[in-house]
Structure 1
């Protein structure tokens, strides 16, 4: 598991703060078809150390490469002091990425017999799947990822043109429900995407977490999906107590 000590962690965060002020450097750090690979041991580390309904995925630069740094939060949303910070390097997607959503429909058939054991009524009902949250519909996830692949450089350019490089994300808040339930076999591919925000009335960057598990697809009465809720960027969606600062 790749880790950063506290000094390296601070340098990585500062590296991204500096890089996002340079449009050419930003373009270099975001090659097409790159993803973060969150390994099972990193998932287990988060499960052990995080105490909040979200954890923080901070963006940094390590040895010239974009990185996602895992930062656990306590129950109040404060960063938990840890000796080392696991990180994932931005790297090419090695294989085709399968987004899975399995929906199982329940059909209930009823028959009514009279007291003299004759059928007097029968019917059947089909029940739609029950959806576990948080998941994303597969089509929305694909559209989000494809939109990032096609438009991310235009989005960065728009931020620079408006003189708002500070508005470019420093971190993402990620729902931790599935992390807290993860066993030793769960890993993720994390891709950037775009999601329209009704509050901010514009497209915002997001992280889409796509899980891989040996038991996925065994079937149940519920919807099974390996595409997890997207993470919210800071800025602009920053949480107390950090108020969106880099500290």
Structure 2
């Protein structure tokens, strides 16, 4: 997507946020975003910050996420004029969520100086997560809540707050998109609804469901999952003053 189309798409979404009927026709709550491995690589290569900004837009009458590269200081990289984007679309097949927990069993035995066994024991080392993982049950609950209550959320936001609190963009940790091991070959991205204790209300999030070429292996106990952390919506979590929020 070129810069002109990007600006028009973002402005178009801005015209939608106060109109519940237009939003209801635009966003089926059972649709998802799809990112290919090639798109993920391009986003990673262009973005220099710990987060990447995904702006909501309406392009050719469809809801889109437009990935806006940030420089090392977290500002918009103005040298980039072509943007990766993904269209909200129906899921073509069942989506499998997998969470695998690996345990390490440590077995000890002690022999005395005359080779008599004097002690033995077995300990199980519980998994220790070394990745920012969103628990599978929490992910499923947030996605189901979005599917069942997403339109009610929009209705309240449009009618009580004039759309002012509806998301304009999301901040996504780059590590959610780019896991070096195992390699991420594609990502399905779903909206979710989750209660935020700080803001004391339900917020829309993005949940990333990744697909790997192989499951991670290792000698230490780990938790492995293809469901990762969620993005932060703006508003209320806004970080780039030059974007107006």
Q: TM-score range by the shorter chain?
A: over 0.9
State the TM-score, normalized to the length of structure 2. 0.93
Residue 206 of structure 1 corresponds to which residue in structure 2?
205
Counterpart Cα distance in 1 of 2:146 and 2:20: 17
Do the aligned partners of 2:183 and 2:212 also contact (CA within 8 Å) in 1?
no
Residue 229 of structure 1 corresponds to which residue in structure 2?
229
Do the aligned partners of 1:43 and 1:179 also contact (CA within 8 Å) in 2?
yes
What are structure 2's unaligned runs of at least 5 residues?
Answer: none
Is 2:7 aligned against 1:10?
A: yes
Counterpart Cα distance in 2 of 1:7 and 1:33: 30
Query: 1:29 is matched with which residue: 18, 26, 29?
Result: 26
Q: Deviations over 1:14-68 (max 9, x none)?
A: 1100112211100011113100001111100111111111101110001000001
Number of aligned positions between the proteins: 242
- 1:14-93 to structure 2, matched below 5 A, reads 14-81=11-78, 82-93=80-91
- 1:79-228 to structure 2, matched below 5 A, reads 79-81=76-78, 82-182=80-180, 186-216=185-215, 221-228=221-228
Counterpart Cα distance in 1 of 2:163 and 2:5: 23
The more displaced of 66-75 and 143-152 is 66-75
Q: Deviations over 1:139-189 (max 9, x none)?
A: 000000000000111111111221331210000000111434448752100
Structure 1 residues 13 and 200 mapped into 2: Cα distance closer, same or farther (>3 Å)?
Answer: same
Counterpart Cα distance in 1 of 2:228 and 2:40: 14
Spell out structure 1 runs of 4+ moving beyond 6 A. Answer: none
Q: SS of 1:166's equivalent?
A: coil
State the superposition RMSD in angstroms: 1.7
What are structure 1's unaligned runs of at least 5 residues?
Answer: none
Counterpart Cα distance in 2 of 1:184 and 1:122: 40
